[in-house]
Amino acid sequence: MKFATKAIREGQQPDPTTGAVIVPIYQTANFAFKGVGKPNLFEYSRSGNPTRSAFEKCLASLEEAKYGLAFSSGMAAVDAAISILRHGDHVISSENIYGGTFRLFENVAVPRGIRFTYVDGTRPEAFAEAICKETKLVWIETPANPLLQLVDVKAVSEITRKHKLILVADNTFPSPCFQRPLTQGADVVVHSTTKYISGHSDVIEGAIVTNNEQIYTNYVFYQNAVGAVPGPFDCWLSLRGLKTLAVRMKKHEENALKVAQWLSSHPKAANVIYPGLESHPQHMLAKSQMDGFGAIVTFQLRGGMKAVEKFVDGLEIFLFAESLGGVESLVCHPWSMSHGAMSREEKGKIKITDGTIRLSIGIEDVDDLIGDIDKTLIGVDI
Ligand SMILES: *Cc1c(COP(=O)(O)O)cnc(C)c1O
């Protein structure tokens, strides 16, 4: 089956007891045993639940993975992904990563004795240069939040393979519709399914997929032992989201490209970043490693913080909010929001300024979106 078909059918056979076409919300904590030592298919919903299992199977198939596990948030999935590390282990991460991931690394993992080195993800050899004898895992996010830098997954995976390191890719931005890192050499893929996968900004959830049985077994243990599992209704919402992922991503991308092209010629916007623009320094890599360019457009508003305030206040269709990946368009100020946990110096190092604006382009009529930005920019002084 191809992607759009799998999204609708994989893991979703009609319910065995009633024939229900849609996987029901199995809102139950436990499942009756058939007898002593004879559990049913499921025992207790922390360990496993049929609605969750359907979502895990479907998502895994879309990533071309054997195994999938759902978590109560993207951050719970990130935490689970690094749960295989022990005191003294070393991680190499690309420096442009989601602010919450950086916070978890620095404020949760570092106090537990794990060391991190951050490198320029656009240079595969930077990962090789940072390897030491304690290195166990390499973390990448591509395209990265919010400046849309790409990491060459194949090139980095050649390095991690050679040194027997685990390569983890956060695939939230492109979703499996536009990029499947396991097919390019990654060992583990992490998602905030809160974003494009659920797609409607109505659920917080995360997931991990892998083809590595040993790593999977470790994660299954951690998922059950720690218990950061999503509820059945959350899984049902995300499973419903998956069904339309292919059509949504197409429309998201079509709109994002038009907005990016339009902004590129606007005098008040500088440095418009979108992997689908030929001006993106890694446009060729994006073309070869992705099936689409996604729907996040980042630019600098000339005029800094004052201009940003005017801009976000003036927009009517774009909502000023955290997050991304929903059908509605959002505007975010990474400096004070998604990357607020980073210091001034850390933000400066990865080139986030107080004038950086990130747009999450939705699937509304693109003329309305451009019209909203156009009219708002008229009132912004630079
Ligand atoms: C949002 C996000 C996360 C965290 O996910 P939550 O569901 O908010 O916990 C991790 N990585 C990326 C790239 C994200 O955008």
* Same domain flag for 301 and 366: yes
| Mean pLDDT within 184-191 | 98
Residues 113 and 226 in one domain: yes
| Same domain assignment for residues 270 and 237 | no
Give the residue from 204, 209, 216 showing the smallest Cα distance to 241: 204
**Residues 233 and 287 both lie in one domain:** no
What is the share, in percent, of the chain residues with pLDDT greater than 70? 100
Q: So what's the pLDDT on residue 376?
A: 96
* Tokens linked to 214: 């040993």
Least confident of 191-200, 223-232, 312-321, 334-343: 334-343
Ligand 1 and 48: CB distance under 6 A? no
Angle between helices 232-243 and 245-264 (to 10 degrees): 70
Q: How far is CA 59 from CA 107, 120, 168, in A?
A: 30, 30, 17
Q: How far is residue 341 CA from its own chain's centroid?
A: 18
Domain extent, residue 360, equals: 246-378
For the residues 311-325, what does the mean pLDDT come to?
Answer: 95
Whether 179 shows a pLDDT value over 90: the answer reads yes
Contact 169, 142 (CB under 8 A): yes
Which of 74, 238, 249, 283 has its CA nearest to residue 171? 74
Testing ligand 1's pocket by substitution, the residue of 79, 98, 102 carrying the most ligand atoms inside 8 A of its CB is 98
Residues 107 and 175 in one domain: yes
Question: Measured from the CA of 204, which atom of ligand 1 is nearest?
Answer: 7
Would you give the DSSP letter of residue 95? Answer: S
Q: What are phi and psi of 105, to 5 degrees?
A: -60, -55
* Peptide bond just before 124 cis, omega within 30 deg: no
Average pLDDT over residues 249-266: 98
Active site residue 170: yes
Question: pLDDT-based confidence at 303, cuts 50/70/90?
Answer: confident
Q: What is the pLDDT of residues 82-123, one digit of tens each?
A: 999 999 999 999 998 998 999 999 999 999 999 999 999 999
pLDDT at residue 65 tops 80: yes
| 215 and 252 fall within a common domain | no
pLDDT of residue 162: 98
Nearest alpha carbon, ligand 1 atom 2: 192
Q: How confident is the model at residue 339 (pLDDT cuts 50, 70, 90)?
A: confident
Domain boundary among 195, 217, 243: 243
Is 349's pLDDT higher than 90? no
Query: Is there a single domain that holds both residue 261 and residue 206?
Result: no
Q: Are 342 and 229 in a shared domain?
A: no
CATH number of the domain that 351 lies in?
3.90.1150.10
Of 243, 268, 291, the position where a domain reaches its end is 243
Q: Is residue 365 flagged as an active site residue?
A: no
Same domain, 208 and 61: yes
Residue 250 and residue 239 share a domain? no
For residues 138 and 168, is the Cβ–Cβ distance under 8 A? Answer: yes
The domain boundary residue, chosen from 223, 243, 263: 243
Q: Are 334 and 347 members of one domain?
A: yes
Q: What percent of the chain has pLDDT over 90?
A: 91
Domain CATH code at residue 123: 3.40.640.10
| Whether the predicted pLDDT of 63 surpasses 90 | yes
46 in active site: yes
Contact 287, 143 (CB under 8 A): no
Q: How far apart are CA 42 and CA 33, in angstroms?
A: 9
pTM, whole model, 2 decimals? 0.96
Is 283 a residue whose pLDDT tops 90? Answer: yes
- Domain co-membership, 234 together with 253: no
Domain count of the chain? 2
Centre of ligand 1 from the C-alpha of residue 171, in Å:
10
Q: In this predicted structure, what is the pLDDT of residue 341?
A: 76
